[in-house]
Amino acid sequence: MIWKEIRDENLGCNSFLLGDEVSGKGLVVDPLGSAGAMEYILTAQDLGISIEHVVETHIHADHRSAAKELAGNLGIKITFGKNAQVNFDYVPVEDGSLISLGSIEVEVMETPGHTMESISLVVRDRHRGDEPILVMSGDSLFVGDVGRPDLNDADDEIIRKYSEKQFHSIQKIMKLPDFTELHPAHYGASPCGGLFMSKKPSSTIGYERRYNVFTAIKDKGLFVEKQIKLLKPPPEEAIAIRAENLGPIKE
Amino acid sequence: MEEDRMVDIKSLWEKTASEETIVLDTRIMTEYANAHIPGSLIAPYHRYGWGKSVADYLREEQREMAIVASNDAIASAAKEELKKNGINVSFVISDALEKWKKENLPVASVSNIDVENLYEKLEEFQVIDVREPYEWRSGVIPSALKIPMGELVNKLGELPKNKKYAVICATGSRSQSASIFMADNGFNAVNVIGGMSRWLSLSLPVDLQ
């Protein structure tokens, strides 16, 4: 199994290259505009995999994405959760969709809450075992925290609805085995997280089960109250960045 | 890349067949195995000293050089690296194989077999284990011929061409280039994906040394 993280330390963003060295098949998750499409193409080549899918866990509002440029370069469409409202063609995936990369299998889990189209990606290395080895949780479950529900719409009622969805999504992710590695899209100072977000880029489901204040809350109402109480102002330029990321592909 | 001479794929085929042009294939190994121009050299591009090692290998080469790449980005990077190391590339072809196939030109390819399938069909194949001798200690498929990668070129003449060969290493990576090498030399060879690490993790039978 091939696994490589490409980060933006400044913004606390994580992106991933995943692949199977035997079949040479690979995918990129949440490519970063600051790294640039070329970096992913050259890294995949260094690793001996070809990028067959470019997956966005959600429409980003805090940083520019390289997904359009990368997918355009490779002549493929971006993969999004089926509810993505973007102004270009994409490959829609939903709960249970499987992306097969030789012996590496990626299962889609819909985890709305940060945004409506948010997905998490559960990875299995079938060469080694049938249980998940890791989950890329996008902006759903973070290390120490969960993704904020207010970047789609500033309306209080809508924020509350998104927070309720986030509660169910977190419960869903927490059904994974304790040893599953957790790789969110953000860490550290990212504006997409809250007060409790750790500077550490990855964790395990088991650790978050014990020490994440949000996974401990079993009541939806309490979860929503806590999220709303801790909200901080949206990132600067959020509206413009989001618009660019969901805008049409420029020729 | 406006300085590149545009090459039509058919004339490149002719130049390659007559050995007027040397074709360097920069794509990753699995893409090369899947389909490549017969006689082209495998040289998967990477950012860690690729240009120097290729240039060292081709230092005495007088022929025109063509690069095959899976996309423009890799093609430019590879070309640039070679230039830095004193090698000029005359032709660059991205999306090479699509163009090549459109013209119905011949491609060479090596197919894969997975370990489970090989075990079921073991009597159909002569297995060649191309790992190093120290690696054989982990166990060797009972019917396998043991030929380390580096000795394959010398042993090739001793192998009958009427057999089907399954080439295996630890993971399926070295065996890929070994099986390509055999196929390009007229053998019916397949690459075993997953390799001995997969064979051993399934607890399939082995001879222990």
The domains found in chain A, sorted by start residue, are: 2-246 (3.60.15.10)
pLDDT digits (tens, 9 = 90+) for A166-177: 999 999 999 999
Q: Do both B133 and B92 map to the same domain?
A: no
pLDDT (0 to 100) of residue B94: 74
Beta bridge partners of B24: B41, B67
Is A73 near chain B, with CB under 8 Å? yes
pLDDT (0 to 100) of residue A247: 79
Q: Do the interacting molecules here have an ipTM over 0.85?
A: no
pLDDT at B1 over 60: no
pLDDT at B154 over 60: yes
Q: Do both B70 and B151 map to the same domain?
A: no
Q: What is the mean pLDDT of residues A6-25?
A: 94
Contacts with B151 (C-beta within 8 Å, 6 or more apart), sequence order:
none
Which of B28, B173, B177 to mutate: most A Cβ within 10 Å? B28
What stretches of A16-129 show up as alpha helix (H) in DSSP? 37-47, 67-74
pLDDT (0 to 100) of residue A105: 98
User: Greater confidence, B5 or B193?
Assistant: B193
CB contact under 8 A, B194 and A46: no
Q: What is the mean pLDDT of residues B135-147?
A: 96
pLDDT (0 to 100) of residue A166: 98
pLDDT digits (tens, 9 = 90+) for B21-79: 899 999 998 888 888 888 888 899 999 999 999 999 888 888 889 999 988 889 999 99
Arithmetic mean of pLDDT over chain A: 94
pLDDT digits (tens, 9 = 90+) for B68-127: 998 888 999 999 999 999 999 988 877 767 777 788 888 888 889 999 999 999 999 999
Q: Do both B145 and B197 map to the same domain?
A: yes
Beta bridge partners of A32: A65
pLDDT digits (tens, 9 = 90+) for A66-112: 999 999 999 999 999 999 999 999 999 999 999 999 999 999 999 99
Percent helix, percent strand, percent coil in chain A, to nearest 5 = 25, 30, 45
Boundary residue ending a domain (B102, B130, B155): B102
Does B77 map to a domain?
Answer: yes
Choice among B169, B182, B183, B192 that is catalytic: B169
Q: Do both B61 and B119 map to the same domain?
A: no
pLDDT at B10 over 90: no
Q: Do both B125 and B193 map to the same domain?
A: yes
Query: Pseudo-torsion of CA A31, A36, A41, A44, nearest 10°?
Result: -50
What stretches of A3-155 show up as alpha helix (H) in DSSP? 37-47, 67-74
Q: What is the mean pLDDT of residues B162-190?
A: 92
Give me the residue label for tokens 């948010």.
Answer: A118
CB contact under 8 A, B194 and A38: no
Q: How near does any CA of chain A get to the CA of B31, in Å?
A: 8
Give me the residue from B77, B172, B193 closest to A42, CB to CB: B77
CB contact under 8 A, A42 and B194: no
Is A126 near chain B, with CB under 8 Å? no
pLDDT at A11 over 70: yes
Does B207 map to a domain?
Answer: no
Q: How near does any CA of chain B get to the CA of A118, in Å?
A: 31
Boundary residue ending a domain (B102, B122, B155): B102
Beta bridge partners of B64: B21
Helix or strand or coil: residue A111?
coil
Q: Do both B151 and B125 map to the same domain?
A: yes
CB contact under 8 A, A102 and B193: yes
pLDDT (0 to 100) of residue A136: 98
pLDDT (0 to 100) of residue A249: 67
Closest chain B residue to A74 measured between Cα atoms?
A: B71
pLDDT (0 to 100) of residue B6: 54
Q: How near does any CA of chain B get to the CA of A204, in Å?
A: 26
Which of A21, A25, A43, A45 to mutate: most B Cβ within 10 Å? A45
pLDDT (0 to 100) of residue A134: 98
CB contact under 8 A, B74 and A103: no
**In whole angstroms, what is the distance from residue B182 CA to residue B156 CA?**
8
Does B4 map to a domain?
Answer: no
Residue B3: pLDDT band by 50, 70, 90 thresholds? Answer: very low
Residue B2: pLDDT band by 50, 70, 90 thresholds? Answer: very low
pLDDT digits (tens, 9 = 90+) for A190-211: 887 788 999 999 999 999 999 9
Instruction: List chain A residues with CB under 8 Å of B71.
Output: 41, 73-74
Instruction: List chain A residues with CB under 8 Å of B45.
Output: 45
pLDDT digits (tens, 9 = 90+) for A103-145: 999 999 999 999 999 999 999 999 889 999 999 999 999 999 9
Query: Pseudo-torsion of CA B182, B188, B193, B195, nearest 10°?
Result: -70
Closest chain B residue to A39 measured between Cα atoms?
A: B73
Q: Do both B193 and B116 map to the same domain?
A: yes
Q: Do both B158 and B76 map to the same domain?
A: no
Boundary residue ending a domain (B46, B69, B102): B102
Does B145 map to a domain?
Answer: yes
Give me the residue from A23, A103, A127 closest to B30, CB to CB: A23
Query: What are the backbone dihedrals phi and psi of residue B65, each rounded to the nearest 5 degrees, phi first?
Result: -115, 135
Does B167 map to a domain?
Answer: yes
pLDDT (0 to 100) of residue A161: 97
Total domain count for chain B?
A: 2
Q: Do both B14 and B78 map to the same domain?
A: yes
Proportion of chain A above pLDDT 70, given as a percent: 99
Active site annotation includes B169: yes
Which of B27, B71, B81, B116 to mutate: most A Cβ within 10 Å? B71
CB contact under 8 A, A21 and B201: no
Q: Do both B117 and B187 map to the same domain?
A: yes
Give me the residue from A23, A50, A102 closest to B70, CB to CB: A50
Instruction: List chain A residues with CB under 8 Å of B69.
Output: none
Segments forming the whole domain that contains residue B21: 9-102
pLDDT (0 to 100) of residue A238: 80
**In whole angstroms, what is the distance from residue A27 CA to residue A52 CA?**
6
CB contact under 8 A, A24 and B29: yes
Give me the residue from B31, B74, B201 closest to A24, CB to CB: B31
Instruction: List chain A residues with CB under 8 Å of B30.
Output: 23-25, 48, 50
What stretches of chain A show up as alpha helix (H) in DSSP? 37-47, 67-74, 156-173, 205-211, 220-229, 238-246
Helix or strand or coil: residue A72?
helix
Q: Do both B194 and B129 map to the same domain?
A: yes
Q: Do both B97 and B135 map to the same domain?
A: no
CATH code: domain of residue B166: 3.40.250.10
